Amino acid sequence: MTTRAEFLSGLRREMAKTRGLFEARTAERPPDADLVFETVKRQMAERWPQALERFQAEFERVAGVFHRVARLEDVPDVVRAIAREKQASRVLSWHPDALGLDLRQSLGGEGLSVTLAPDDDPDGEARRVHREAAAEAEIGVTGTDWALAETGTLILVSGRGRPRSTSLLPTTHVAVFDRHQLLESLEQVGSMLEALHADPARRMSGAVINFITGPSRTADIELTLTRGVHGPKGVHAIFVEGR
């Protein structure tokens, strides 16, 4: 049985591992969100190679698996290889309009069952059916709104054709992104989210935002780490060069 002193000592030991990694400070709200949005885009147009290198290092540090392909059309080959490795037969995907490709056409005839998220407002029964398919799927494939380099974090905004269940329920999450989604800092992420919600007419305004840093992890009171309790056991990121 763990004593009080041993328990507190364990907490101090674990907390000391991350002390001083990030400087905590308050960021002021930008007066012109769209201007900041365009400024960040121009900056990242030049600095994305360095951001990608940092993202890969941090993503792999948290047990993510990084892939790099030349074209969007190469993504199904990576998903197929992951399915073989995991001995998976059921794939859940964002709608083609949200993902950028139709996995049902490219994977459906190869022994894989591919379910696509609806791109409309489904009724209650349709929602129930899709949730059941999400719970049974072994692989969930999504796009990525932003990829945060400093922590190796994937940021997904839910909406029509892009439900959060795709990244949360399957045991393996596969996220697709390109250089246009790369950001260097959490401050930049805040600026992009501010711009996203500044205009209520924007398609994804008000949606749920998920920050995903590696596979799902949880720890009990004695800090025993377990993966996959509240989400995927494995996370893969596919970077598309020519997109």
pLDDT of residue 93: 94
Closest CA to 79 of 241, 234, 231: 234
Residue 132 included in any domain = yes
Contact of 83 with 112, CB cutoff 8 Å = yes
Residue 203 included in any domain = yes
Residue 21 included in any domain = no
* Amino acid (one-letter) located at 170: P
| Per-residue b or e along 131-159, where b marks 16 or more CB atoms closer than 10 Å to that residue's CB | eebbeebbbbbbbbbbbbbbbbbbbbbbb
pLDDT of residue 226: 62
Residue 4 included in any domain = no
Chain centroid to CA 89: how far?
22
Chain centroid to CA 190: how far?
16
If the chain, 243 residues long, is cut into consecutive pieces of 10 residues, what is the mean pLDDT of each piece? 80 73 65 83 92 96 95 95 94 94 86 87 77 89 96 92 90 96 92 76 68 76 60 91 81
CB atoms within 10 A of CB 108: 15
- Helices (DSSP H) in 70-120: which residue ranges? 75-86, 96-99, 103-107
Domain containing 69 equals: 31-240
pLDDT of residue 216: 67
Count of domains forming the chain: 1
Q: Which residue has the tokens 């190469």?
A: 74
Residue 5 included in any domain = no
Residue 131 included in any domain = yes
Question: What CATH number does residue 216 fall under?
Answer: 3.40.50.10420
Angstrom distance (rounded) from CA 89 to CA 141: 13
Residue 177 included in any domain = yes
pTM of the model: 0.82
Contact of 94 with 161, CB cutoff 8 Å = yes
Residue 6 included in any domain = no
CA distances from 85 to 4, 79, 134, 139, 194 (A): 44, 10, 20, 11, 40
